[in-house]
Amino acid sequence: MQQLFNFNLEKISSSKKELLDREKNLKLFLEKGLPNKKDENWKFSDLNLIVNKNFKKITNNYDFEFDKKINFIKDFEHNYIILVNGSLKSSNLKFEEKTKVLIQKLNSLDELNYHTGNNLYSLNKALSSGGFDLVIKENYKCKKPIIIYNYFSSNLDDKMINNSNKIKLEQNSELTLIEYNISEKNRFLKNTFENIEIEKNSILKNITIQKTKSNGYFYKHISGSQGYNSSYQNFILSSGLKFNKIEVDMNLQKEKCNCFILAGLNLAEGEHQEIKTRVNHLAPNCKSYQKIKNVLESDSIGIYQGKIFVKDIAQKTDAYQLSKALILDDKAEFNAKPELEIYADDVKCSHGSTSGSIDEDAIHYLMTRGIELSKAKKLLINGFLSEIFENVQEEKIKFFLERIINEQIDAI
């Protein structure tokens, strides 16, 4: 294990105390190492195996300089935040009131002490290079979406990025946050922990997109809590990474909140993606809706592990979970574990999971109408995935997502 990891903690520590703290956490991490499939949460994605197979040595990153120009998205007006290798570089919130949207550098997520079982959290604390802390003040609805340009420099081979972010929406606020990953062909690891707090009557829409194919190995853990009548909508469209695991752990603390997790993934050769969710219904009258769609080509692996937990007081819960996979190649694989844990009786909870190939009848139908096979397939795949981002209300963003999905499908 020590041979694989070669971290320099001194270089990233600003004080003796910090160094000691980092050393302590690194020691904790090294005791257990990377999670493997013996760990129920990593049953389908043996991270230890994957990392050992693809990396010979790993060092931490302490370079946060730009080395290229960013091509901004021109499809719609937006504010932006630029992160270079996970660390906050600059921001431009020109469409918003200065006192209402606050952003600053975050050093570590100290209050997040409930990841006791998660060894990657110890690693994150040991090596964290910060991230951002975003606050939307109460009664403020953001006029334009904020895009996070998640930029990765070109010297990241065999490096590991550890960062942590915090997003807070105060009462009656609203925000659309788009995370846009841009990376070069480097082979690197990223380990992110994010905390989201959505207060009473607030709405957060969170969209994750991967721009180009990347050799990145990403892990992201999102944990959050929701107040009364709040809404959280998470769209995950991050195809293109070699390995990606997104864990969402959402606590519906107060009545009448709703939580949507929607993912549309189109995985190509050598890609391995896992979405793991845990939606905790802790108060009555809440609603949660999860829909995960995977298109699997070549030897890709798609995984969905979802859990709905309903506490005994959370009556009138309406929870739904659906995972669908289109397997296009005999080498591809889809694994699912949609789990329900329910302690309240007046609830409506259901889940469904299907996997199979493209419907032959539908292809036949299209071909009889003069559409050639490959086009017919693409049309059906498009229909399969577009159901996910149809739930995005802003027209311009929807068109933008549609364009990205179409580009991905054309590449098949």
Could you tell me the smallest distance in angstroms from the CB atom of residue 117 to other proteins? 14
Which residue(s) pair with 6 in the sheet?
Answer: 59
C-alpha distances out from residue 213 to 11, 164, 184, Å:
31, 24, 8
* Residue 327 found at the interface with other proteins (CB under 8 A): yes
Identify which of 235, 137, 244, 107 has the alpha carbon closest to the alpha carbon of residue 188.
244
* Closer residue to other proteins, CB minimum distance, 227 or 306: 306
- Mark the segment that binds other proteins (CB under 8 A) among 51-59, 107-115, 279-287, 355-363: 355-363
393 Cβ neighbours under 8 A, 6+ residues apart: none
* Residue 343 found at the interface with other proteins (CB under 8 A): yes
- Mark the segment that binds other proteins (CB under 8 A) among 24-32, 147-155, 350-358, 395-403: 350-358
The binding track of 25-44 with respect to other proteins, each residue x by CB under 8 A or -, is: ---------------x----
CA–CA distance, 149 with 199 (Å, rounded to integer): 26
C-alpha distances out from residue 46 to 40, 41, 42, 108, 223, Å:
10, 10, 6, 27, 22
Among 160, 332, 380, 409, binds other proteins (CB under 8 A): 332
* Residue 352 found at the interface with other proteins (CB under 8 A): yes
Among 4, 112, 344, 362, binds other proteins (CB under 8 A): 344
* Residue 347 found at the interface with other proteins (CB under 8 A): yes
Number of Cβ within a 10 Å radius of residue 385: 26
* Closer residue to other proteins, CB minimum distance, 125 or 324: 324
CA–CA distance, 349 with 314 (Å, rounded to integer): 12
273 Cβ neighbours under 8 A, 6+ residues apart: 238, 239, 241, 243, 244, 245, 265, 267, 294, 300, 301, 302, 303
* Residue 255 found at the interface with other proteins (CB under 8 A): no
Contact 347, 318 (CB under 8 A): yes
* Closer residue to other proteins, CB minimum distance, 28 or 349: 349
C-alpha distances out from residue 47 to 152, 162, 165, 261, 399, Å:
22, 16, 23, 24, 35
* Residue 312 found at the interface with other proteins (CB under 8 A): yes
- Mark the segment that binds other proteins (CB under 8 A) among 136-144, 237-245, 255-263, 308-316: 308-316
* Closer residue to other proteins, CB minimum distance, 65 or 346: 346
* Residue 412 found at the interface with other proteins (CB under 8 A): no
* Residue 107 found at the interface with other proteins (CB under 8 A): no
* Residue 337 found at the interface with other proteins (CB under 8 A): yes
Backbone angles phi, psi at 220, to 5 degrees: -135, 130
Helices marked H in 261-330 — which ranges? none
* Residue 361 found at the interface with other proteins (CB under 8 A): no
* Residue 49 found at the interface with other proteins (CB under 8 A): no
CA–CA distance, 72 with 69 (Å, rounded to integer): 9
* Residue 325 found at the interface with other proteins (CB under 8 A): yes
* Residue 299 found at the interface with other proteins (CB under 8 A): no
* Residue 395 found at the interface with other proteins (CB under 8 A): no
- Mark the segment that binds other proteins (CB under 8 A) among 14-22, 79-87, 345-353, 398-406: 345-353
Q: What is the DSSP letter of 2?
A: T
In the complex, the residues that contact other proteins under the rule CB under 8 A are: 40, 312-313, 315, 325, 327-357
